[in-house]
Amino acid sequence: MSTATCARFCTPLSSGTAGSTSKLTTGNGSGNTMTSAYKKKIPSNNSTTANTANDSSNTETTFTFKLGRSNGRSSSNVASSESSDPLESDYSEEDPEQEQQRPDPVTNSRSSSTATTTTTSSADHDNDVDEEDEEDDEDEEEGNGRDADDVTHDSSESIEEDDGNETDDEEDDDESEESSSVQTAKGVRKYHLDDYQIIKTVGTGTFGRVCLCRDRISEKYCAMKILAMTEVIRLKQIEHVKNERNILREIRHPFVISLEWSTKDDSNLYMIFDYVCGGELFTYLRNAGKFTSQTSNFYAAEIVSALEYLHSLQIVYRDLKPENLLINRDGHLKITDFGFAKKLRDRTWTLCGTPEYIAPEIIQSKGHNKAVDWWALGVLIYEMLVGYPPFYDEQPFGIYEKILSGKIEWERHMDPIAKDLIKKLLVNDRTKRLGNMKNGADDVKRHRWFKHLNWNDVYSKKLKPPILPDVHHDGDTKNFDDYPEKDWKPAKAVDQRDLQYFNDF
């Protein structure tokens, strides 16, 4: 995420509804009074750089773990009692328990902690693991209308806990050294960290940074995501990071970032990706103000294709937003940041996402599934067409209220067919949400807004991209903000005990 992203959220950590409970109820939603407040925080161009990065008054607040990510992504402000996000406050109450229930570093056994959210059911989590539960949602009748008030409380199903530190079904993996041999299309390659020449930081995140680098062997440019293990441990993200790596290793899709290799040393975890030189869709959207229906349709189609693929593997992405959509040199999308992605068996309960994009069932701690990605798609299409998200407030609490209220303000001249799709995606009752009914993604693909599309052509990148990034070569960094390189201090080495948490990374 570029520092331009800071402008998205301006929630001072110390202000507002500190200590608020997370037990939100369906709201007396104040409707969407957006918007001058939001608009004035949108940068007029992409030139926000170091100043913004160091301005601690602007904080994008993300549930649970990805806190403080907007400040140049370098400050890992953890949720605290000062947080203005009620769900963060709720989460931090759970910290001591989670600390104790971190998986044993030696056995790496599954945590037995309870879900961090407010739930009304309990279940044998171990039993959940092997069950491939069909979504009860899929038995529901398809509903076409928006039913914002119909919020079901389905609390009797089994819960898959997800406290960020549970042990998932990870493959055993010996590739945990700084070098490892990997079978590639051109034969076996022995990878080593020294193969990569770091050129420049292009992004920052909660635990570290993403650098452009050059593979000295293939001479290809790549992006190296460097995560400080001390931060991953401190923020209790061990399992989320391992999930991210494991899921990325499993997937291959034209619109999803490709993981080339991953490794670690005694301080950092490293993931090597294709370098996507066009930068974030977020930047293009803010510079344009809003996209035409045609442009939005193009990006939405590529996302639908990717979501359909991920969901077919029972992977829920959970972090769809323009900051996580990169534009490749050819103008096609690459979804990045699988830090919240999760392989589902039933429902999961972690409070995660970015306030504007989270689905009502996450706020209500009802357990959630792939339906949250379809909700986020509705938010994204709205944001592309209108220029700002449908639910916005200065405070996360206000955003949640608006999401739960189900009220959306519509622009008068909005494409009515796109509006119809958004309405069917932004249905509070997930059993009636397009994409989450018995025909799955097909319902979305068959919507009139996509009627003109041949979905094989979408997958094969045969559609003409509406934007071609201005880049001179594959390693061009002009579409990313500048980050002061001297700010980076080497991460502290972790001790042997902590290193074992990452044995299978």
Ligand X SMILES: Nc1ncnc2c1ncn2[C@@H]1O[C@H](COP(=O)(O)OP(=O)(O)OP(=O)(O)O)[C@@H](O)[C@H]1O
Catalytic residue numbers read 319
211 counts as binding ligand X under rule CB under 6 A: no
| Contact flag: residue 88 with ligand X (CB under 6 A) | no
CB of 488 to ligand X, least distance (A): 14
Q: Under DSSP, is residue 485 helix (H, G, I), strand (E, B) or coil?
A: helix
Among 34, 115, 326, 421, contact with ligand X (rule: CB under 6 A): 326
Q: Is 120 exposed, middle or buried (0-12, 13-18, 19+ CB in 10 A)?
A: exposed
Within 10 angstroms of residue 294's Cβ, the number of other Cβ atoms is 10
298 belongs to the binding site for ligand X (CB under 6 A): no
Stretch that binds ligand X, among 39-47, 104-112, 267-275, 415-423 (CB under 6 A): 267-275
Q: Is residue 437 near ligand X by the rule CB under 6 A?
A: no
Q: Which one of 199-207, 360-368, 431-439, 454-462 is the stretch in contact with ligand X (CB under 6 A)?
A: 199-207
**Residue 212: CB minimum distance to ligand X, A:** 7
Q: Min. distance of Cβ 140 from ligand X in angstroms?
A: 33
Note whether 276 binds ligand X by CB under 6 A: yes
Among candidates 11, 27, 66, 33, which has minimal Cα distance to 353?
66
The candidate with the shortest Cα–Cα distance to 480, out of 492, 471, 489, 493, is 471
Q: Smaller CB distance to ligand X: residue 59 or 428?
A: 59
For 330-384, give the secondary structure using H, E and C: CCCEEECCCCCCEECCCCECCCCCCHHHCCHHHHCCCCECCHHHHHHHHHHHHHH
The stretch near ligand X (CB under 6 A) out of 296-304, 310-318, 331-339, 462-470 is 331-339
Q: Note whether 280 binds ligand X by CB under 6 A.
A: yes
For the chain, how big is the Rg over CA atoms in Å?
21
- Only one of the segments 45-53, 200-208, 431-439, 445-453 lies at the binding site for ligand X (rule: CB under 6 A); that segment is 200-208
Which residue among 46, 206, 354, 369 contacts ligand X (CB under 6 A)? 206
Do residues 256 and 335 touch, judged by C-beta distance below 8 A?
A: yes
- Considering only 255, 273, 317, 397, the residue that binds ligand X (CB under 6 A) is 273
Residue closer to ligand X, measured from CB, 466 or 475: 475
| Residue ranges in 224-263 that form contacts with ligand X under rule CB under 6 A | 225, 257
**Helices 416-425 and 371-386 meet at what angle, rounded to 10?**
150
Coil/strand/helix, residue 204: strand
Judged by CB under 6 A, does residue 337 bind ligand X?
A: yes
CB-count burial class (<10 Å; 0-12, 13-18, 19+) for 485: exposed
d(CA 328, CA 187): 27
Token pair 């996302």 is found at 303
Contact 340, 359 (CB under 8 A): no
The answer to whether residues 113 and 98 touch, using CB atoms and an 8 Å cutoff, is: yes
Nearest to 455 by CA among 466, 463, 443: 463
Closest separation in Å from C-beta 492 to ligand X: 18
Task: Name which position in 103, 164, 203, 390 contacts ligand X (CB under 6 A).
Answer: 203
CB of 297 to ligand X, least distance (A): 24
How distant is the alpha carbon of residue 486 from its chain centre? 28
Phi-psi category of residue 387: left, alpha or beta, with phi > 0 → left and psi -120 to 50 → alpha: left
Options 37-45, 105-113, 198-206, 431-439: segment touching ligand X (CB under 6 A): 198-206
Q: Which residues contact 105 (CB under 8 A, 6 or more apart)?
A: 497, 498, 500, 501
Q: In this structure, how many other beta carbons lie within 10 angstroms of the beta carbon of residue 219?
A: 7
Nearest approach in angstroms of CB 137 to ligand X is 28
Residues 117-176 that bind ligand X (CB under 6 A): none
| Cβ-contact 121, 155 below 8 angstroms | yes
Residue 332 makes contact with ligand X by CB under 6 A: no
- Nearest by Cα to 403 from 389, 384, 416: 389
Whichever of 208 and 435 has its CB closer to ligand X, that residue is: 208
Q: How far is the CB of 477 from ligand X (least distance, A)?
A: 9
Give the residue with the Cβ less far from ligand X, 83 or 364: 83
- Minimum CB separation of residue 244 from ligand X in Å reads 8
Chain-centroid distance of CA 178 in Å reads 27
Tell me if 440 contacts ligand X by CB under 6 A. no
Least distance CB 466 / ligand X (angstroms): 20
11 binds ligand X (CB under 6 A): no
Residues facing residue 264 across a β-bridge:
269
Interface with ligand X includes 356 (CB under 6 A)?
no
Choosing from 59, 111, 336, 431, the residue that interacts with ligand X (CB under 6 A) is 336
- The residue (of 274 and 415) whose beta carbon lies closer to ligand X is 274
Residues 68-87 touching ligand X, rule: CB under 6 A, are 69, 73
Residue 378 binds ligand X (CB under 6 A):
no
* From 124-132, 201-209, 419-427, 432-440, span contacting ligand X (CB under 6 A): 201-209
Q: Does 53 bind ligand X (CB under 6 A)?
A: no
Q: Under a CB-based contact definition with an 8 Å cutoff, are residues 484 and 92 in contact? A: no
Cα distance between residue 53 and residue 354, in whole Å? 19
Dihedrals φ, ψ of 298, to 5°?
Answer: -60, -50
- Report how many residues bind ligand X under the rule CB under 6 A: 24
225 labeled part of a ligand binding site: yes
Which residues of this chain interact with ligand X, rule CB under 6 A?
Answer: 1-2, 66, 69, 73, 202-203, 205-207, 210, 223, 225, 257, 273-276, 280, 323, 326, 336-337, 339
Binding-site residue set: 225
Binding site listing for ATP: 225
